[in-house]
A and B are shown apart, each in its own frame.
Chain A
């Protein structure tokens, strides 16, 4: 109950996401149950999550397996966006563009050159990374609102551009591709096989992002986010790290786009409108910036809330969806991950 009172919209002392992430970290370390410290709990929880994720596809109907697969796809994309927005403090409204680049890279490789699908992943990720680097150099001279506008413009421009180069991209008709077939030895159905492929990509992406953030790069990014000038004084090469963050984030989006192509088997320019970029950013902020759980919670929101909205109001699902976004921001200004953190700290515990 106390947790609810604290979550009241009237709470004005909601700290910025950055600060909340830091205190969340501190709060977590003080959790001690059964004499285990937070680090151990975290491993136990992660192991439980992985076990559940491995077990789920054998229990669920293919439809639910597909939904989980899409959650993982969005989670990988949000993970990349989180690097940029949550950890480097730069706003991007064009993340969908890199998602599209990854999806199209994979589709074109498979369609034009019959590339085996596992090979498309590193290539799509690399293409997105390089593009992120190229666009990142000018974009990273900008900050805040201005960067948001430039990335927004990129996302909007990409759609007609994809249509223009019809010989390569298939134009507005898009490209239809075969989905990865499960090898005979696995004994899996198609949906299960694709799920495990995406799960492997997602786990790898989370491990990569985790180690990235613990490295020198991660510390530099946090320094940039918390205070650019101080960071620069301390010798952090600002533009270098910001551009790098942009490129990394583009790479994760590209990887997500590539696995999206595996899952859906169809790409078309109108699947990657600016709405996708805005949805991704909204999903991340709703999930929680600067945390590892944020992208997962955000992906769950992006995947399931539109369906729930339709259950509530069949005539105009958008009315409910819009209200739910606003409502979540009231209850959890720092995202669902932050809310969960605050609730857990309210549980009385022995020290």
Chain B
């Protein structure tokens, strides 16, 4: 039993990572209706900025604050410079632009910082909490805590500020929002900035565990997709819950289902995506879209 619980705890740790990435994906999808393939790479790039700041001698928390500000600005800039020119083009065109961005950012990071792995300072202390035979790493607790904090902040932003209200209006109905005087263009840029900031947080959380290198986020992305699908692509809270479930399910399946083993465990997100979409396409927390023909 202790072994089982231990696996669940480890799954929670992995799940928190997927959740933070899924959160960033969902933020952009909410406002623009597109899936940003470059989300993970942008997060990786932000993490390198943080690494560079630390390497230059800044204390960790100052480096983090600086990185979040730079990422926010960078996210808005990406929307203004790269996405804006194809706004109004077919959806698939925009998706392919993000694929181009993925390839560009990945190669650029390798060019600037090489493909050698870098060690990234862990903001959380080493060691683990011992709870009745189960050990919970401080990093696991820390990652879960930060993701929860980000959730709360986003909730406050959306529900209790004017900007958040405007963003929700744009997400629900862009043309009506425009009519009531909301600057839709800037709101979309704001959405990208916000997503980039959340992505940066997730990158900084992940880097000490996976080690920083340009391909760090590539493997995480599919799990984040599964998490977002499970939770509902238009629900930030759903993304977080989805991420945690995916992490636990994957860990348990890899450990206890003999046939799956560690090599086929990537099949777990596939089954989750497929199952959810067939049974409840809007995800656990998503709204069912009623279309007007």
The distance in angstroms between the C-alpha atoms of A152 and B104, with both chains bound, is 21
Would you call A334 and B90 a contact (CB within 8 A)?
yes
Q: Does chain A have a CB within 8 A of B269?
A: yes
Would you call B90 and A319 a contact (CB within 8 A)?
no
B227 to chain A minimum Cβ distance, whole angstroms, is 11
Q: A17-B92, A230-B293 are in contact. Are A145 and B270 (CB under 8 A)?
A: no
Interface stretch, picked from A7-15, A114-122, A174-182, A187-195, is A7-15
How many chain B residues touch A (CB < 8 A): the figure is: 46
Q: Name the one of B85, B106, B293 contacting A330, with C-beta atoms under 8 angstroms.
A: B85
The distance in angstroms between the C-alpha atoms of A321 and B107, with both chains bound, is 9
The distance in angstroms between the C-alpha atoms of A229 and B233, with both chains bound, is 24
Q: Does chain B have a CB within 8 A of A292?
A: no
Residue on B with the closest CB to A232? B293
Would you call B229 and A149 a contact (CB within 8 A)?
yes
What is the size category of the interface that chain A forms with chain B?
Answer: 35 or more
Q: A157-B270, A318-B106, A319-B111 are in contact. Are A329 and B89 (CB under 8 A)?
A: yes
Q: Does chain B have a CB within 8 A of A4?
A: no
Chain B residues within 8 Å of A154, by CB: 270
Chain B residues within 8 Å of A138, by CB: 274, 278
Chain B residues within 8 Å of A289, by CB: 90, 92
Q: Does chain B have a CB within 8 A of A341?
A: no
Would you call A281 and B96 a contact (CB within 8 A)?
yes
Chain B residues within 8 Å of A318, by CB: 103-104, 106-108, 110
Chain A residues numbered 223-254 whose CB sits less than 8 Å from any CB in chain B: 227, 229-230
Q: Does chain B have a CB within 8 A of A88?
A: no
Q: Does chain B have a CB within 8 A of A322?
A: yes
The distance in angstroms between the C-alpha atoms of A144 and B92, with both chains bound, is 10
Would you call A333 and B103 a contact (CB within 8 A)?
no
Q: A138-B274, A163-B263 are in contact. Are A333 and B104 (CB under 8 A)?
A: no
Would you call A153 and B226 a contact (CB within 8 A)?
yes
Would you call A285 and B92 a contact (CB within 8 A)?
yes
Q: Name the one of B103, B105, B222 contacting A325, with C-beta atoms under 8 angstroms.
A: B103
Q: Name the one of A152, A316, A333 contacting B111, with C-beta atoms under 8 angstroms.
A: A316
Chain A residues within 8 Å of B270, by CB: 150, 153-154, 156-157
Q: A156-B266, A316-B107, A322-B104 are in contact. Are A329 and B222 (CB under 8 A)?
A: no
The distance in angstroms between the C-alpha atoms of A146 and B233, with both chains bound, is 10
The distance in angstroms between the C-alpha atoms of A160 and B264, with both chains bound, is 6
Chain B residues within 8 Å of A149, by CB: 225, 229, 273, 277
Residues of B at the A interface (CB closer than 8 Å) are 29, 35, 37, 82, 85-93, 95-97, 99-108, 110-111, 222, 225-226, 229, 233, 263-264, 266-267, 269-270, 273-274, 277-278, 281, 291, 293
Residues of A at the B interface (CB closer than 8 Å) are 9-10, 12-14, 16-17, 85, 91, 138, 141-142, 144-146, 148-150, 152-154, 156-157, 160-161, 163-164, 227, 229-230, 278, 281-282, 285-286, 289, 315-319, 321-326, 329-330, 333-334
Instruction: Other than A16-B90, A17-B90, A318-B104, give 7 A-B pairs with Cβ distance below 8 A.
Output: A12-B87, A154-B270, A157-B264, A157-B266, A318-B103, A325-B103, A330-B86
| CB-based closest 7 A-B pairs | A318-B107, A322-B104, A325-B100, A322-B103, A333-B89, A153-B270, A316-B111
